[in-house]
Amino acid sequence: MPTIDLNADIGEGGLEDAELIALATSVNIACGGHAGSEAVMRRTIEASKAHDVAIGAHPGYEDPDNFGRVEMELTPDELKSLMTRQLERMLSYYPEMHHVKVHGALYNQANVDEAIAATVVLSILELKPDTMLYCPPDGAMARAALNAGLHICVEGFIDRAYMGCGNLIARGVANSIIGDFEVAAAQAKQICLTQSVETTDGNRISMPARTLCVHGDNPNASDLLLFTREYLSQAGVEFSRP
């Protein structure tokens, strides 16, 4: 039976965190950078522990006005300090941190910029070398992690559309976010059963994902995750943390 992890970004101020925690098998908790606070982190970690989901850190640019979704140009030392600050915050509340998934613009930049990817990976290795990095399959993050000996978990997306090169279509571009539940769930099913995904130009690319993400700040995120779980279950897919 095919098996997949379902991950959700939470602790970001969304109203559906409780529902998402109950439906997901792993969660990515904001670390007070793009969103969240120490109090929110503590509450979100405790709620996640009660549901026995895999708990990971979700560090991002410290730019809450733009929700960490605007690219920034930081020096390697500045980026290392940002990553260290946020990961140490997570580890102080949850030393067993299961994984790291970087957020927003930092995720996208790290996937194409070798220097940024190397800094992200180094920051993780220095603090929690036995964790894993959720990332796309073929980008700079995956290469940096594998070269440094950091485990990765390949991530696909339920609610985002892909370009032919394999990158996500940028937010703000038409049809970058998949709002139709049937279309989103069908994409998840294709990834699970064929290890591939159809791009907006009609091509199919490899997508050997072990985890699929739903963004917690999207409208009706928990309804989408519930619909997707039921859709995948009917296709014979089982759910388990990586």
Q: Are 115 and 123 in contact (CB under 8 A)?
A: no
Q: What is the CATH number of the domain that holds 228?
A: 3.20.20.370
> What kind and span of H or E run contains 76?
helix 76-93
Task: Give the C-alpha distances (Å, rounded to integers) separating 166 from 4, 40, 62, 224.
Answer: 20, 34, 27, 23
* Whole-angstrom distance, CA of residue 129 vs CA of residue 149: 9
Into how many domains does the chain fold?
Answer: 1
**What is d(CA 137, CA 208) in angstroms, rounded to the nearest whole number?**
7
Do residues 1 and 208 make contact, with C-beta atoms less than 8 angstroms apart? no
Looking at residue 203, what DSSP letter applies?
Answer: -
Supply the pLDDT for residue 167: 87
Q: Which domain holds residue 116?
A: 3-239
CA distance 119 to 110: 9
- Residue-wise pLDDT for 21-43, tens only, equals 999 999 999 999 999 999 999 99
Q: Is the Cβ–Cβ distance between 144 and 117 less than 8 Å?
A: yes
* pLDDT tens column, 41-65: 999 999 999 999 999 999 999 999 9
pTM exceeding the 0.85 threshold for the entire prediction? yes
Q: Are strands 204-206 and 196-198 parallel, antiparallel or unpaired?
A: antiparallel
